[in-house]
Amino acid sequence: MSALTVLKFGGELLETDERRGAMATAIRRMAKRTSVVVVHGGGREVDADMAVHGIEKRAVDGLRITDAPTLDIVVGVLAGRVNTRLVATLGSIGVHAVGLTAADGDIASVRMAAPYAAADGATVDLGFVGQPTGGGSRLIEMLCAAGFVPVVASIGASDDGQLLNVNADTLAGHLAASLGADRLLIAGGTAGVLDPDGATIPAVDDALMDQLIGDGRASAGMVAKLVACRAAARSGVARVDIVTGKQTDNLDTSAGTRIEVPPVGGSESTES
Ligand SMILES: Nc1ncnc2c1ncn2[C@@H]1O[C@H](COP(=O)(O)OP(=O)(O)OP(=O)(O)O)[C@@H](O)[C@H]1O
Ligand SMILES: [Mg+2]
């Protein structure tokens, strides 16, 4: 697709009316210049609902280990509350948004993730977690061409109809690659990748990424983010940034980290 930005929001940017309003304004601003596909998480709200139901959270490198009761909560919170609320906020400022999951119109094909090789060397069964593998761009292209902004909750379905929880950064990276986006912009609660002193690391290349993940300076959700950014950059997404969504409603001027990983010729990597 020509001039397409995949814009991912961490759930904490979408919780309060004020933050969500600012992010909706950011989306509207960007959508005036380029096609925009929004992907969102909602990790903290899922955590809160799990606590209400007395379900313990387990995660590895930012990937939620998802048993059946956890999956029910993830689907309800992400595809239900978080997605519809953002679509409604966008509508209130004149942006015609369409709420979807990755299961709609084969936006992304997803299969149950293989046992995960964690940064600490352990191998972990993630349960009902989905790994995007392919998918079609037709529905997204139709929506964008008609002036709609697709808003995709990070839920997918396997070929045999099983709903699966997909990490939102993983899905955003996959969609950026599969849709041929020129830009992947991941907005979260921190000003990009931080060093142990709390300063933003301005740029991360392949070697630094391995160091950050290897020595634990990047952990939890940041590991999933970096790995997703690397996969997208390798697949040819020209510009990949991790920025804060907290300082401004103009994400082009947000402080953050540029991912500087070269494309790998002809690869359609969807590694996560
Ligand atoms: N070096 C680092 N720099 C910044 N954040 C880091 C770093 N290492 C670990 N983190 C953690 O990663 C978190 C971001 O990932 P997390 O999955 O929690 O949020 P998100 O992906 O933005 O939201 P969601 O999961 O709702 O989509 C940060 O809040 C921080 O706790
Ligand atoms: Mg996350």
Residue 62's pLDDT is 83
Q: List the chain domain ranges.
A: 4-260
Ligand nearest to the CA of 78: 1
Ligand nearest to the CA of 168: 1
> Which residue has tokens 């009902």?
128
Evaluate whether 64 touches 74 at the Cβ level (below 8 Å): yes
Task: Give the gyration radius of the chain's Cα atoms.
Answer: 17
Report the C-alpha gap between 37 and 40 in whole angstroms.
10
Residue 50's pLDDT is 97
> Is the CB of 192 within 6 Å of ligand 1?
no
Report the C-alpha gap between 132 and 248 in whole angstroms.
31
- Chain centroid to CA 66: how far? 17
Which residue lies with its CA nearest to atom 23 of ligand 1? 10
CATH fold group of domain 4-260: Carbamate kinase (3.40.1160)
> Is the CB of 189 within 6 Å of ligand 1?
yes
Residue 272's pLDDT is 46
Ligand nearest to the CA of 74: 1
Residue 269's pLDDT is 47
Q: Read off φ and ψ for residue 100, nearest 5 degrees.
A: -145, 165
Q: Read off φ and ψ for residue 185, nearest 5 degrees.
A: -125, 115
Torsion of CA 233, 182, 86, 169, to 10 degrees: -10
* pTM higher than 0.85: yes
Q: Which atom of ligand 1 is nearest the CA belonging to 41?
A: 27
**Burial annotation 198-208 (CB, 10 A radius, 16+ → b, else e):** eebbeebeeeb
Please list the rounded mean pLDDT of every run of 10 residues in the chain (272 residues): 91 97 98 97 96 95 93 98 98 98 96 93 96 94 97 97 97 98 98 97 98 95 96 98 94 96 71 47
Catalytic positions? 8, 11, 43, 169, 225
Instruction: Let me know how long the chain is.
Output: 272
> Is the CB of 217 within 6 Å of ligand 1?
yes
> Is the CB of 155 within 6 Å of ligand 1?
no
> Is the CB of 63 within 6 Å of ligand 1?
no
Residue 267's pLDDT is 46
Terminal alpha carbon distance of the chain: 23
Residue 183 alpha carbon to ligand 2 centre in Å: 19
User: Which H or E run includes 134?
Assistant: strand 130-134
